[in-house]
Amino acid sequence: MAMECKPFGVNVMLVAPGSIKSNISANQAATLQLTPTSIYKPYFDRVYERMNASQGKQSMPTDEFARCVVAKALSPNPPGYMTLGGSSRLFWFLQWLPRQLILWILGSKLVWRKD
């Protein structure tokens, strides 16, 4: 997208958030219900577990995250890539690895783990 928008004078900034405090898990617990035949049913517990894990002590407060992103976006020279929040250094490191390796690592840790 950055390459496509550059000729029009539009800067694009990719924000890769780490753990950010939010109400996502509380809101989803009350509203998300899968039917027993849903193709997502086998993955639901792992996704829900991961969603809750991102709300730990290292999570960045939402308002602090928003202030940082807006400040960078409105700066004279916004970065093309920005990551912040809990465990964001991990995401900074992962950007340098081959995409297929990242998908394999995250998939094996987050979704495809056999219990």
pLDDT digits (tens, 9 = 90+) for 56-90: 778 889 999 999 999 999 999 899 989 888 888 87
Token pair in block for residue 45: 């517990």
> How far apart are the two ends of the chain, measured CA to CA in Å?
39
pLDDT digits (tens, 9 = 90+) for 33-52: 778 888 887 777 777 777 77
Name, in order, each residue with C-beta under 8 angstroms of 78's C-beta and a sequence gap of 6 or more.
11, 13, 72
Token pair in block for residue 53: 């894990």
User: Which amino acid appears at position 3 of this protein?
Assistant: M
> If you search the block for the tokens 């998939």, which residue do you land on?
107
Cross-strand partners of 19 = 86
Token pair in block for residue 21: 């405090």
pTM listed for this prediction = 0.64
pLDDT class of 112 with cuts at 50, 70, 90: low
> If you search the block for the tokens 């900074």, which residue do you land on?
92
